Structure 1
Amino acid sequence: MSKILSFLSVIYILAVSSDATTFEKNGITYHMKYDMSGYYSLSTHGMHVLTPGLIADIENIEWMEIDQQNLTDVEPGTFRNLPKLRRLKITANNIPHIKTGIFNSLSNLTNLELYVNSVYQIDPNAFDNMTTLKYIGLSFNQLESVDPHWFLQTPSLEFIDLRYNRLTKLPASSFGNIKSPGPFILWFDGNYITRIDKDAFSGMKTISTLSLDGNKLKTMTGDFLLGREIDWLSFRANKIECIDQRHFATVFVANYTKIWSNSWHMECFKKIKTWAKENHKNVLYDPY
């Protein structure tokens, strides 16, 4: 019997060692991915709610993926003492509400990916004190608005992905509380945006990419771009028929602007091409 116990002890030690390919803790199985030490995907074995302290006290984990596990809730305090965790991916579940206290203690997290989770509500302080966070992915959810408090305490943020939600407008000061110096990448593709208020991006001076493809914009004045330094601007596949020539200088401020697949009136389209050539602006008319 003592030999059997010794053997099982060795197996357990191997299972939880820093270079283990698989180990279990609190009913969850951790599988190493791509033979990369520190990168694990998690199997919850039918557990639909992650409870406080369930994923805790693991020193070697750097990337964590919880994908397609039919989760319906993650409770505040689920993640504790994960000092090396830099990337957390919780995707393709059914989590409607992101609550304060779920991620706030992850002090070294740089990437947070929450795609395809049916999220329609995020608490105002859900991302507070995430001082190293650079990228947040919220695409393919059900969000109808942006809360300006979300990014109040994310001073390193550079990339926000809000594609394919249910946004209909970007009100004034939507991103007015941003403290990060940027430059920023902002993706809003595939929403239902018809209006962008003048001060929507008031907290952002430098934007490397602003993508508004596949929305419902019918025209633009460029007011929301005033005072911004922009490298790439894209508003392909909207409903724009024309832009008043008085606004060309405020709309086409980026180094490169993509405008194809709208409903352009031919005469207006010709005026844009002529103006862009005369003013040495890179306005891209087609994908070729």
Structure 2
Amino acid sequence: MNVRTKEKIARIILWTAASITVGFLFLIIGYIFKEGIGMISLEFLLDKPRKMGAQGGIFPSIVGTLYLIAATLLFAVPIGVGAAVYLNEYTREGKIIQLIRFGTEALAGIPSIIFGLFGFAFFVILLKPVTGGWSILSGSLTGAVMVLPTIVRTSEEALKTVPQSYREGSLALGASRWQTISRVVLPAAIPGVLTGIILAIGRVVGETAALLLTLGGTLLLPHSVFDGARTMSMHLYMVAMETGAMDMAFGTGVVLIVTIFIINTAAGILRKKLELTSGRR
């Protein structure tokens, strides 16, 4: 068997695998839209739920989801990107750094329910006077701990892609190390950092187990981070399991998919603009 034949076989196998993956994705999304698109209306989007979510709308869940995303990123992004900058720019390879990286990778593989149990014990019970118990603050802190490994690793890899000549040129012109990092390295690495943030948003939006133990799951409209809430993923799960109202669950699924699509599309457009800007520099 010659090299060209092997390449053709490999290409066919990879194309088949990709087609199957995309096919299943469209099959799942198509089925959810088929079952839930009939529920979508202004009343469904802007009304409050009734009868434990079996009737009414999902407006509090939409607000709770947006609250949770914003609060989680507020905690996770500065810490995650800061840790990545320290590991990549201020330290040298050694046993301690290898241990930190191993711990980061180990945290990324821990089941989310373990994070939920930690968040319940630490943020909900121990820090109740500060977080308010079951609240958006407790849920977002738990979510931040959960997505930190993703942000740290992706940000670190993004920083590694910045050519060393950028740093050397900046330092040669008299800039300090921090000026080099903040004005040269980070702007060039922002598109990659943004990729990690997109992945973090996806995990937070789709999370259920950890938030059941920390967010509270109330159907009331949250007014601050100290109030309990329910995300769309939680609402979908609880409505399907507790009330059996599958039409409401599928309708929530449609809104959730569209929300993720909008967020990812907006982030992708922003990333391309940042790539063009960094390329012009």
Bigger proportion of residues as strand: 1
Alignment TM-score, normalising by the size of structure 1 = 0.23
Alignment TM-score, normalising by the size of structure 2 = 0.24
Answer with 1 or 2: which has the greater Rg: 1
Taking CA–CA contacts closer than 8 Å with sequence separation of 6 or more, which of the two structures ends up with the larger relative contact order? Answer: 2
